[in-house]
Amino acid sequence: MTEQTKVELSEKSFRGLVVGAVVVAAIVAYANTAGNEFVWDDVSSVLLHKHVQDPSKFFQLFREDQHAFGRGQGNFYRPLVAASFMVDFALSYLLFREEPEETRIPEVSPFLFHVTNVCWHAAAALLLFALMTRLGAPRFVRAVAPLVYVVHPLHTEAVTYISGRADPMSAVFMFLGLWFALCEGTTAKRIAGTALAALCFCAGLLSKESSGIFPFLLLLVLLLRPAGEGEKKPGYLVRFAPFIASLVILGIYALLRSTVLRFGAGATPDIPLGRRLVETGQALASYFRLLIIPTGLHMERTLAGTPRWTALVGWALLAGCLALIVWSFRHRRYRVCLGLGWFVLTWFPISGLFPLNAPMAEHWLYVPMAGLLWAVAELVWPLVEKRKAVGPAVAATYLLCVLLIIATVDRNRDWHDNESIYRTTLADNPRSMRIHYNLGVTYEDLLGNLPGARRHYEAVITLCSDQRKAAGKTMGGGVLWDQELEAHLSLGKIFFQQKQYSKAADNFRAVLRVKSDEAHKPLIATAAFGLGKCYLAFGDTSRAIELFKQAIVVRPDLRNEAARALTQGLLGASAG
C-alpha cells in the first residue's frame, strides 16, 4: 500500500468519524425535544395554517405570508419552511388519522416536526464541515468547529422551537451553495457548480430573508480561498461567475419582495442613530457573552437596564475582530481572516445599525457563529500543534461539548410547552407585554386557569399604561395598543363568566373608546357584543339589542348567538 493510499484511507476514516460524532452529538443534545409540544408561533405556522394542512395548496404557499392564518398578516416570505411543515403534517396527521377531525385545531403529534428540526441542524453542521474540508482546514479545526456548533445551546431557539426552523434551513442552503460555488476542474464542472450554487441561494431566500447576505459571503470566500500548490487560478469571469449569478438573483428577489411579494409593512421602530449606535455595541457585547457563557437564554431579549459602558465593550470587541482580520490577512492566515470576516459580515445586518423589530435575538447568531467558531479553532490550532498538545486539546474539546450538551438539554426543557417557555421568559424579562398576553391566553384557552389568565391580562394593561406615561402620552383619542385591546376583551369575557358584569362592562367599554378603523372593527364589534350581554344581565334589553345590531353589522356570524342571548335573557326576565 502506497503512502498516498494510506493518507486517503486515513482521511476517509477521519471524515466518517467526524460525521458520526456530529450526528450523535446532535441526537444526544436534542433527544429530549421529542416530547415537546407546539408552542408560540407554531400555532399560526402549523396548527391554524389551512394551506400547510392541505397538500393541494402547495403552490399557494409561494404566494402568501408565512403567518397568513392565525397570528395575522406580516411580511415573512418563507414558502420552503411552510412546505417542510406541510410534509411533516402530512406524515404526522393525514396518513395516520382514523377519521376526519372537525376541530379548529387538529390533533397532531409534534414528534416528527422536532425530528426534522434536528435533522436540518445536523445537516448545517455537516455542511460546515464539508466546506471547511474543501477550503483545506486542518483536521483539528474541522473536528472542533462543527462539534461545538451542533451542541451550542444558543441554537436551541432555532432547533428546539419548531417555528425556528427557518434558520437551520437557510444555513443549510447557504453552506451548500458555498460548497458548490467552489467546484473546480473542467468548464462543465464549474458551470454545474455555479448553477447549483444559484439554486441553493434561491432555496435559501425562500427559507429566510437573511439569506440575502449570501452573495457577499460568497465573494469573501472566493477572494480569500487559499490556492493549492501549483494551482492555476482561472480567469476572473470564470472565478466570480457564482458571485455574479447570485447578485442577479438577489436583485430579482428584492424587486419581487418590494412589489408582488410584499405582504405587509415591517414593524420596525424609528430609533435615532445615536441610540442605535449605543445599542449595537451593547448587543454585540451581549452576543459575545452568550457565545462564551450561554446562560440565561430567553426569547424576549431587550437591552433595558444594560449599562451604557457595555456599548464601549462591544465596539472594542468589533475593533479587535477587524484588527485581527487585518493581521491574519497580512500574515497569510486566510482561513482565520475568512472566519472572522464571515462573522462580521453576517452579523452586520442584525447588528442593530439598521432598524429591526428587536434589539437582538439568539437565533440571529445561527450563521455568524459558524464563522467565529471556525476562526477561533484556526487560531488555536498552531498553538496546539507547536506544543504537541493535540491530546489535551481534544480532551478539552470533549469536555466542552459535554458541558454544552448539558446546557442544551436543560434549555430544551424550557420549550416543553407554552406555560414553561412563557414563565421562563418572564423570569428574565418580566415587563414583556407580549409574553404576559401569551401566557394569559395559555391559561385561559388551554389550561382553564382563569385567575392566572386574569392576572397576566391585567399585567399587560398595567405595562401599556406605564409605557404610555413614560412616553408622555395619554388615553386621549382612544389610543390603545393591539395587545392592550385584546387584554381588555379577554378580561371582559373572564369577568362575564365569573358574573362580575360591571367589571366586564368596564373592559368592553375601554375597547369601544378606540377610534374605529378597518383593522380594529372586528375587535370593536366583539366588544360591543360583550357589552350587549352585560346590559342583558343588567336588565336593559333595549340597549343590549342596539349593541347587538352594531356588532352584527361587522360580524354577521354573531347573529345566531345574539338571538340565543336575547332569548335566554328574556326568559330569565320572565322567570324573575
Tens of pLDDT along 208-224? 999 999 999 999 999 99
Spatial distance between the Cα atoms of 134 and 177, rounded to a whole number of angstroms: 13
First vs last C-alpha separation in the chain: 102
- Mean pLDDT score, 103-114: 84
Which of 145-159, 390-404, 437-451, 559-573 is the most confident on average?
A: 145-159
* H or E element, residue 431: none
pLDDT band at 573 (very low <50, low <70, confident <90, very high): very low
pLDDT band at 72; cut points 50, 70, 90: low
Report the pLDDT value the prediction gives residue 398, as an integer from 0 to 100. Answer: 93
b vs e for 94-128, b when ≥16 Cβ sit within 10 Å of the residue's Cβ?
eeeeeeeeeeeebebebebbbebbbebbbbbbbbb
Q: Where are the domains of the chain?
A: 17-37+110-414, 516-576
- For 244-252, what is the mean pLDDT? 96
Distance CA 131, CA 335 (A): 12
pLDDT of residue 252: 96
Sign of CA dihedral 473, 479, 480, 482: negative
What is the sign of the dihedral through the CA atoms of 249, 252, 258 and 260? negative
Average pLDDT in the 109-124 region?
A: 97
- Mean pLDDT of the 82-107 span: 76
Q: CB of 213 within 8 A of CB of 175? A: no
Q: What's the burial of 194, exposed, middle or buried (CB within 10 Å: 0-12/13-18/19+)?
A: buried
Average of per-residue pLDDT across 76-80: 93
Q: What percent of the chain has pLDDT over 90?
A: 61
Tell me how far apart the alpha carbons of residues 170 and 364 are, in angstroms, rounded to a whole number.
11
- How do residues 345-388 score in pLDDT, each as one tens digit? 999 999 988 888 888 999 999 999 999 999 999 999 999 988 78
Evaluate if residue 35 carries a pLDDT over 80.
Answer: yes
Identify the residue whose cell numbers are 409540544.
37
Q: What is the pLDDT of residue 70?
A: 62
- Indicate the burial class of 257 (C-beta count within 10 angstroms; 0-12, 13-18, 19 or more): middle
Phi, psi of 116, rounded to the nearest 5 degrees: -65, -40
Question: What integer pLDDT is reported at residue 400 of this predicted model?
Answer: 96
Write down the pLDDT at residue 338.
Answer: 96
Q: CB of 507 within 8 A of CB of 484?
A: no
Mean predicted confidence (pLDDT) in 506-510:
92
Q: Which stretch of DSSP H or E encloses residue 33?
A: none
Sign of torsion over alpha carbons 303, 414, 421, 415: positive
Residue 101: pLDDT band (50, 70, 90) is low
Q: Which of 50-59, 178-187, 298-307 has the lowest mean pLDDT?
A: 298-307
The pLDDT, as a whole number, for residue 539 is 85
> What is the pLDDT at residue 326?
96
Average pLDDT taken over every residue of the chain: 88
Give, for 207, the enclosing helix (H) or strand (E).
none
* 480, pLDDT greater than 60: no
Tell me the three state secondary structure of residue 480: coil
Question: DSSP assignment of 217-249, as one string?
Answer: HHHHHHHHPPPPTTPPPPPHHHHTHHHHHHHHH
CA distance 240 to 375: 24
